[in-house]
Structure 1
């Protein structure tokens, strides 16, 4: 059989091209196989693929406006849900303002970044669906841990941080803080404002997370003041910026 060096080289080049094309289409540049199948990754695994963005403003507890790829876009936080602040049908729900204010505080000072999951990147309203970070720390996880959000809107395969979010939610539930201070208020379908009204009419005490207008109001609920990270904490009430608002003198 006649052998052609040129033909052999051409064959090798063809094989190399086919190999690189196959690599390019397998998991979007070598993406982790556990993510491709929608499986959970360890709860303590670091975030990957963070994209620095510019914060424009905070809309509510689970929505912000950012500048991304040269234009302003809204971002809906993945896997969490916070009470409404100004919904056309639901109106203002208990802890809605607190969630919005805490979200604003968390994002006020630091580097903001987003992380996409492997599912769709926008919802039917055109909002980006993403995880949001401040200085590399999860804002969603913080809101859940402080009782200002519930785990919700779980649509596989976008479940990368579901396990750690559920753990944060459980810690808040166990403490009975924020939305969990009102019995049966947070449900799998959302927030039941009627339950909150019934609780108030029944005279049952619920934890007031804030915001408070002044230290007198805050100390009426938290006599020793509150540390930074507590839902009632506000920088405006931390005059000496020591991380403790309205501490007893």
Structure 2
């Protein structure tokens, strides 16, 4: 729950506020609920912004999967809403831009003083047991950076884990318009 909603709840628990609500009547109460819901869902910051957790890298897998030390042990983390080209294919050859995506992820994380992960509002893990997160290096979202540089596409939307979908789609649109990375092949 974000700070705005905590304030609203505290005010509603206040006796004076309850008396004011009685005076407002049902239409007034409905209006207050609508305003509170709109501020919750349409603010630039998602509720998850308050819940970033610092992690450290254990092992790089590829552009969109990294093993981080989390809660005292090494765990696999899959970057939400993005897909980078595959390093390991059935032919043995990486897909175009797979090496670049993996190298870029490693570069961004190695150069960061602080690495954080942010869970969305839905399930924390996928069917492979990997944690689903947005990854931040010194406050910058790596998921978005990879998409913006044409090293990842927007994919694997798993509602309700989609709070950053529009932000990532905007980055992808710009990368496509500029013909960057994977979009240079089209």
Give TM-score, length-normalised by structure 1.
0.55
Structure 1: runs of 5+ lacking an equivalent: 1-18, 20-31, 184-249
Residue among 121, 139, 144 paired with 1:118: 121
1:160 positional shift:
0.8
1:131 positional shift:
0.5
For 1:51-130, list aligned pairs within 5 A. Answer: 51-88=53-90, 92-110=94-112, 111-130=114-133
SS at match of 1:56: strand
Structure 1 position 158 matched with structure 2 position 161: yes
RMSD after superposition = 2.7
Question: Would you identify which runs of 4 or more consecutive aligned residues in structure 1 move more than 3 Å?
Answer: 32-36, 39-48, 87-91
SS at match of 2:156: coil
Kindly name which structure, 1 or 2, has the bigger radius of gyration based on alpha carbons: 1
1:46 positional shift:
9.3
Higher relative contact order (CA 8 A, sep 6+): 2
1:78 positional shift:
0.3
Q: Deviations over 1:173-224 (max 9, x none)?
A: 00001000011xxxxxxxxxxxxxxxxxxxxxxxxxxxxxxxxxxxxxxxxx
For 1:82-231, list aligned pairs within 5 A. Answer: 82-88=84-90, 92-110=94-112, 111-183=114-186
- The number of aligned residues is 151
CA 155–46 in structure 1, closer or farther in 2 if over 3 Å, else same? closer
